Structure formats: structure tokens, C-alpha cells
């Protein structure tokens, strides 16, 4: 089995389409990333992922107002689920790892779908 670990900018990955069967990304969407950059990152993860992804994501009050808004607990769970589906993933499992008054954080196991 040939394993590769690559660290890079999630918005522009130097990897061919379907280059990894599994993509793992934690903490990149939690506090400092804008909604716009989150969508770009999810598009890239979907592009390079051929089978599944493990992502740490959060949700909260749905206060995202525009593309430059910070992602930290800015989407409702339904909005987050819709965003995940927009980028060709289905949620197989989620494990909540943190709950605060601000929102919830979870590790998601996602399966890549064929829908475009």
C-alpha cells in the first residue's frame, strides 16, 4: 500500500482529481476561515477525494451574513448539511466532540457521492 501525507492550503491543493481515496482535515473551518474560503476548500476536498473524507466542522446560530463572514459556528446544522451535500458528500456519521453556548463541534465521516 502506498500512503501519502500532504500538508497544504486547502483552497488550492496540488493533487490530481480523485488523487486520494480519503481526505482528512481538522480545524481548518473552525475559527479563522471565511464562508467563501470554506466553500472553496470544500470544493477542493471534493475534487481530490475519490471515496471519503473525515472533517472537523461546527455549527451554531446561522448568523452567516455574507461571503466574508467568519465560519465559527455561523451555520445552522441544516445549512451545514446542505453545504456538505452541495460539494458531493453524504454524512455517514458524526461524533460531537465539543458543545458550548456558541455551538457544537463534530468530526464527520463523509462518503463521496457521484452527484454533480
Whole-model pTM? Answer: 0.88
CA distance 31 to 14: 24
Query: Which residue ranges form the domains of the chain, and what is each CATH number?
Result: 21-112 (3.40.50.150)
Q: How many CB atoms are closer than 10 A to CB 101?
A: 7
Q: Give residue-wise pLDDT tens across range 38-96.
A: 899 999 999 999 999 999 999 998 888 788 888 888 899 999 999 999 999 999 999 99
Q: Give residue-wise pLDDT tens across range 28-49.
A: 655 668 889 989 999 999 999 9
Give the orientation angle of helix 77-86 with respect to helix 35-48, to 10 degrees.
40
CA distance 71 to 74: 5
CA distance 62 to 40: 19
Amino acid at each position: 500500500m502506498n500512503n501519502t501525507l500532504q500538508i497544504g492550503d486547502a483552497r488550492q491543493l496540488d493533487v490530481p482529481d480523485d488523487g486520494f481515496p480519503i481526505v482528512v482535515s481538522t480545524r481548518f473551518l473552525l475559527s479563522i476561515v471565511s464562508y467563501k474560503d470554506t466553500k472553496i476548500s470544500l470544493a477542493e476536498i471534493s475534487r481530490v477525494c475519490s471515496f471519503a473524507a473525515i472533517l472537523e466542522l461546527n455549527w451554531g446560530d446561522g448568523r452567516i451574513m455574507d461571503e466574508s463572514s467568519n465560519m465559527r459556528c455561523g451555520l445552522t446544522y441544516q445549512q451545514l448539511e446542505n453545504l456538505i451535500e452541495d460539494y458531493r458528500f453524504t454524512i455517514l456519521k458524526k461524533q460531537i466532540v465539543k458543545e458550548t453556548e456558541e455551538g457544537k463541534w463534530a468530526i464527520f465521516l463523509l462518503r463521496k457521492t457521484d452527484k454533480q
